[in-house]
Amino acid sequence: MPESYQPKPGDRVVRPLRIARFRLRRVLGVPALFSAGYGDVGSSIYYALGIVALIALGATPIALAIAGVIYIFNALTYAEGSASIPEAGGSASFARHGFNDLAGLIAGWALMLSYIVTMAISAYTIPPYLSYFWPMLRDPVIGTLVSMGIIAFLMVINVLGVRESSRVNIFFIIIDIATQITLVVLGIILILAVNPAVLFQHMFGAGNWPSAQNLIFGIAIAALCFTGVETVSQLAEETKQPAKKIPQAYVLMIVAVLVLFAGISIVALSAMTPQMLGDPVNGWARDPVAGIAANLPSATLRSIFAPLVAVLAASILLTASNAGLMGISRLAFNLSSHHQLPSTLSRVHHRFRTPYFAIILFCFIALLVLAPGFFSTNFFADLGALYVFGSLLCFAMAHAAVLSLRIRKPELERPFKLRWNIRIKGRELPMTALLGLIATLGIWLIVVITQPYSRWAGLIWMAIGLIVYAVYRWRAHLPLTRMPRKPGEGVL
C-alpha cells in the first residue's frame, strides 16, 4: 500500500490480496437462484409495463416480445459465461477475463448505474401503489419525497447490517407469481374472452400505434422488464455445482418471464387503452398492475385484488430497491478486490461490519437521480432510459466477452456451451451471442443518439468512472489494462 495512505480512525480496510484467499460457501441451488433472479423481474413488471406503454402505446406487447427474444440471447450468454467463470462480478468479470481490467471496469461501472437506477425507480413506484390507501401519495412532489425517504431508510438499515430474510423473500415471490397468474387468467376470461376485439382496437386503433422512432425506443425501454440475469451471475461463487445449476436457473427464468410478461401485457391492454396505461399523471403508468386490478369487471374482485396488489407491489419493490443497494456493495467489493476501484469502497465499519462507505455514497447518488422527480414532466421515461443506458451496455460487454473468450481461450472449460455456432478461422462463435451483441449494442446506440437525458447523464457517469480508475491505477503504479505479472509488483 502506498506510503501516503493513512487509514482513518475506525476504518477497517479490506486488502485485495487477502480477499483473493477468501472463498464464499457454495450453498445455493436452482430454487434460490431462480428466486433471486425472478425477484428483479417480478418487481420490474410493476413499473416497466407502464413506461413501455408510455412510449410504445398499442405496440407494447410487440415491443415486449422483441425485447423478450433479446432477453433469451442475454440469458444464454450469461449461462455460458457464469458456468465457465463461476465467480461474482457478472459482466464485469466476463469482460475482465475476455479482454482486460479496463474493459471489466467499463462493464462494472455501467452495471453500477443500472443498480442505482433500479434502486431509484423501484422506490419511485412504491408511493403510487400505496396511494390506494393514501391518495395524496400520487402527487409527484409528495411521492418523490417519500421515495427519497425510502432510499434513506434502506441506507440506514444496510449500514447497521439488518439482514433481509431469504425465506420472507421467497414467500413474497410465490405470492407475487400466484397473484400475477390469477390476474392474467381473470383478465382473459372476464375481459378478453367477452370482447376479443378490444385488444385489437387498443393496439391498432386510431392514435394507438406509435411512430417508428417510438417503437424502437419502446423496444429499448422494454429491457427494463427483462432483468435478473446479472443477479444470478453475481451469485456464482455461492452456487452448488454452478456449471449445472446456473444454466438451469436461467432456462427456468426464461420460461417464467416470457409467459408472465406476455400474459400481463395482453391483459393490461385489454383492460385499458394505451393512453390510460401510459399516462404517468392521471393514468396507470407508475402502477400498471394496479390498473389491471382496478379495471376488473367485478366489484368483488376489485375489492380483493386492488389492496392485495398495493401491498404486494410495495413489498416486492422495497425488496428490489434493497437488492439493488446490496448488489452495488457486492459489485464495488469485487471491483476493488481486482484493483479496478480504490480500496476505499471496501471499507468495513468497525462496529457494524458493513461496507458503509459504498452504501452511503451510492444511496446519495440515488437520491440525486430522484431529484428531477420534483419538477420534470418526463422524469419517468427519462429514468427508464437511464437504466437502459447502463443495462444494455453491460449486456453488450457480456456478449462481446463471451465471443472474445471463444477466440482467445478456446481451451477454457465450458460446462455449458452455447450451440448454433458458426466457424470463423477455426473458432466456434455462438450465433445467439453474435445476435445479442448486435441487438444490445445497436439499441444502446439508438438510445444514446435519441435520448438527451440518458445520453449525457450516462456518458458523464462513465467518464467519472474512467477518471477514478485511471487516477487510482496511476497512483498505485499499475498499468491501465493488466495487472503486473511479477508477484507483488505494484500491488496494494
pLDDT reported for residue 436: 93
Query: Domains in the chain and their CATH numbers?
Result: 26-475 (1.20.1740.10)
Residue 492: predicted pLDDT:
38
CA distances from 241 to 8, 75, 232, 235 (A): 41, 18, 14, 12
pLDDT value of position 167: 58
What is the Cα–Cα distance from 49 to 385, expressed in whole angstroms? 14
Find the Cα–Cα–Cα–Cα dihedral 131, 135, 140, 143, rounded to 10°: -50
What's the pLDDT at 164? 52
pLDDT, position 455: 92
Q: What are the average pLDDT values for consecutive 10-residue runs of the chain, which has 492 residues?
A: 43 40 56 71 82 91 88 87 80 90 93 90 92 91 94 87 57 80 91 90 91 87 74 69 76 80 90 89 87 90 91 86 79 84 77 79 93 85 88 93 91 83 85 93 89 92 95 89 55 38
DSSP string, 122-177: HHHTHHHHHTTT-GGGGSHHHHHHHHHHHHHHHHHHHHHTPPPPHHHHHHHHHHHH
